[in-house]
Amino acid sequence: MELTSGNPWLQTPEPEQERAQTGVDLGNAVTVRELSPQAATVCAPRAADRIPRRSVPRETARLWWLGVHGGAGETTLAQLLEGSWETGHAWPQPDEETTELPHVVLVARTHARGLRAAQLAAIGWASGSVAVQLHGLVLIADAPGRLPKPLRDFAHVVAGGVPCVWRLPWVEAWRLGDPVCAQTAPHAVTEVLDDLRACCLTAPYTTPTP
């Protein structure tokens, strides 16, 4: 499917522009890739809305999940994808001996609070105030069934601020206490994991700009 949208987060008014957005249907999950805003064209969030930072050594993880709010689901993703780890709700920053940017994927639930937190995190990244290589955002369903239209529209706006969006469906078995395991995960989940693995774990490291 082809979707187009302007970037509503630009700091100064710009002529209306169309951006190609490609969605790959993965059953109940969807991967969306689109052009993200350029660094420094967006104002950083106010201090109260900024995600904290913490120093991490390069060897700790190949990919970092940043849950942008409590209960986002980053622990579940760390269990599902080898080579990844959760950040503890903070931007991972290179330590003094590291010369490569951490690879990061944001994680949020699809309720209003989660989408707003994801938007603020994306704004912080787009402002150029954090030194990471952001691959995108995983949106995890906060309830079974289809999202209400206001949340679908909000999710579309949030998707316009990150390079890629992956959507994971509601998994009732995990809610009931079944083990979180990639080998027994629903097909829609394993397809998204495969795409995340190919996109993020094989990407080359980027050296921070002096």
How far apart (Å, rounded) are the C-alpha atoms in residues 55 and 194? 28
| Full-model pTM | 0.78
The 10s digit of each residue's pLDDT in 116-156 is 999 999 999 998 888 899 999 999 999 999 999 999 999 99
3-state secondary structure of 41: coil
- What b/e readout covers 69-86, taking b as 16+ CB neighbours within 10 angstroms? beebbbebbbebbeebbb
Phi and psi torsions of 156, nearest 5°:
-65, -40
The 10s digit of each residue's pLDDT in 3-41 is 333 344 444 334 333 333 434 333 344 555 444 444 445
